[in-house]
């Protein structure tokens, strides 16, 4: 089993979001289930990166779960959570994300506690943190 905690996000244009997340942030499509009656809607998608995964779907208001979530632009661009994704070469990741239009909100920085990282927003305003610090790795001797 890989990660037991999987962030779940919603997008107004989930198909475009999937393309962006794969192109700019390096995710890979694991599964994408498009609504049979409304093919512009994604009922459920799973994207992987290394041993991690995010799940996502289209913004909808016709499910009980949808009543618990809003989009970042509906909360003044603020988030209450942020996926933190460990990547091997964070500087190269930063460069690719920037070149594909990710809005960098915290520039690439070497961290005093180890590793490096940066924060970016995707086209629908979700905040992401990418870094090389691995909290599972044993502390340096």
pLDDT in tens, 84-109: 999 999 999 999 999 999 999 999 99
Domain assignment of residue 137, yes or no: no
The CB-side HSE value for 13 (13 A sphere, CA atoms) comes to: 9
| Residues 58 and 10 sit within 8 Å (Cβ to Cβ) | yes
pLDDT in tens, 29-64: 999 999 999 999 999 999 999 989 999 999 998 888
Domain assignment of residue 84, yes or no: yes
When divided into structural domains, the chain yields a total of 1
Domain assignment of residue 138, yes or no: no
Neighbouring-strand partners of residue 119: 106, 129
- pTM equals 0.89
Question: In terms of residue numbers, what domain contains 35?
Answer: 8-131
Helix, strand or coil, per DSSP, at residue 105: strand
């Amino acid at each position: 089993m890989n990660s037991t905690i999987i962030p779940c996000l919603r997008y107004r244009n989930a198909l475009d979001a999937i393309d962006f997340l794969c192109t700019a942030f390096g995710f890979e499509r694991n599964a994408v289930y498009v609504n049979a009656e409304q093919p512009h809607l994604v009922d459920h998608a799973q994207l992987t990166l290394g041993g991690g995964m995010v799940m996502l779907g289209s913004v909808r208001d016709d499910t009980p779960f949808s009543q618990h979530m809003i989009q970042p632009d509906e909360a003044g661009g603020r988030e209450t959570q942020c996926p933190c994704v460990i990547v091997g070469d964070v500087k190269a990741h930063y460069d690719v994300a920037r070149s594909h239009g990710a809005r960098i909100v915290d520039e690439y920085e070497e961290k005093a506690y180890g590793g490096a990282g940066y924060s970016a927003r995707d086209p629908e305003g979700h905040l992401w943190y990418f870094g090389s610090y691995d909290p599972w790795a044993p502390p340096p001797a």
